[in-house]
Structure 1
């Protein structure tokens, strides 16, 4: 299965995603720190990154841009509790593959992850 990295400034949100996706057989690593997440992708072959847009030091959009520089082939799903058309457009322009709105729906997350990993 896939190597997945989750970045969310709320630990419980990351752990929830981890539990859902590990039940599907994926290996999931959770981060709350943007720099740690970027370093992880630089040191490992990550298939999919799931990024919250609202983070503590950077935005998820900034992290998305950084990830694509480090590993251009990485697949990305953005998460937000505050969806806006502008943010969605910016994420897609930078190479995000999908967009999920919080609170996370288990079935929607599983479906989008399966589609993105194709």
Structure 2
């Protein structure tokens, strides 16, 4: 199964995503701090990064840009509670493969993760 990181400034949201995906057999590491997530990516090169658009110090798009530099093969899914066409376009332009709207739907998340990892 895949090695996945989740970056969300709200710990409970990251833990929820982690629980859902671990049930599917994935190895998931959740972060609330952008710097911790980037340090992890530097060493581990995960298969997939699931990033909230609104984080503490950076945006999810900025974190995605940094991940792209550190690990170009890491795929990405963006999460947001505030979906706009602009944020969707920006995320996709930077290489995010998918986009999930909060509150997270378990089935939708599992389907999108499977689809992104298969692609």
Q: Deviations over 1:50-99 (max 9, x none)?
A: 00000110000100100001111110000000001011001111110000
In the aligned structure 1, how far is the partner of 2:48 from the partner of 2:3?
A: 7
Whether 2:99 is the aligned partner of 1:104: answer no
TM-score w.r.t. the length of structure 2 is 0.98
Whether 2:76 is the aligned partner of 1:76: answer yes
In the aligned structure 2, how far is the partner of 1:107 from the partner of 1:20?
A: 9
SS at match of 2:69: helix
In the aligned structure 2, how far is the partner of 1:71 from the partner of 1:45?
A: 6
In the aligned structure 2, how far is the partner of 1:3 from the partner of 1:86?
A: 29
Return the offset for 1:45: 2.4
In the aligned structure 2, how far is the partner of 1:17 from the partner of 1:5?
A: 10
Runs of 4+ in structure 1 over 6 Å off: none
In the aligned structure 1, how far is the partner of 2:48 from the partner of 2:21?
A: 11
TM-score w.r.t. the length of structure 1 is 0.99
SS at match of 1:5: strand
Return the offset for 1:114: 0.2
Pairs aligned (count) = 118
What residue is the counterpart of 1:85 in the other structure? 85
| CA root-mean-square deviation | 0.4
What residue is the counterpart of 1:41 in the other structure? 41
What residue is the counterpart of 1:65 in the other structure? 65
In the aligned structure 2, how far is the partner of 1:41 from the partner of 1:79?
A: 19
Return the offset for 1:16: 0.3
